[in-house]
Amino acid sequence: MRVIIAAAGTAGHINPGIAIANKIINEDKNSKIIFIGTNRGLENDLVPKAGYELKTINAYGLSKKITIDNFKKMIKTIKGIGEAKKIIKEFKPDIVIGMGGYICGAVMIAAKKAKVPRILHESNAFPGKAVKMLIKNVDKVLVGFEDAKQRLGNLDKVVVTGNPSKIKKIIYTQADKKIELTKLKLDTEKPVVLIFGGSQGAQKINNAVLEIIKNSKNKTYQIIWAPGPKQYDEVKESLIKENINIQNINGVKIEPYIYDMEKIINLADVVVARSGALTITEIAIVGKPAIFIPLPNVSENHQEYNAKVLENKNAAKIIHNEELNGKILNKQIEELIQDKEKLIKMGNNANAIATENVEDKIYNEIKKVIE
CA distance 332 to 218: 12
Structure confidence at residue 155 as a pLDDT band (50, 70, 90): confident
Mean pLDDT, to the nearest integer, of 15-26? Answer: 95
pTM of the predicted model, to two decimals?
0.82
CA distance 305 to 272: 17
Mean pLDDT, to the nearest integer, of 40-67? Answer: 85
CA distance 334 to 291: 12
Q: Cα–Cα distances in Å, from 84 out to 5, 69, 108, 128, 172?
A: 11, 22, 9, 21, 45
* Angle CA 325–328–333, to nearest 5: 120
Residues 6+ apart with CB under 8 A from 179: none
57 and 81 share one domain: yes
Mean pLDDT, to the nearest integer, of 247-255? Answer: 94
Residue 232 belongs to a domain: yes
Closest CA to 56 of 19, 21, 4: 4
Structure confidence at residue 299 as a pLDDT band (50, 70, 90): low
Residue 256 lies in domain: 174-352
The CATH code of the domain that includes 306 is 3.40.50.2000
272 and 360 share one domain: no
Residue 288 belongs to a domain: yes
Residue 169 belongs to a domain: no
277 and 308 share one domain: yes
233 and 293 share one domain: yes
Residues 6+ apart with CB under 8 A from 65: none
76 and 24 share one domain: yes
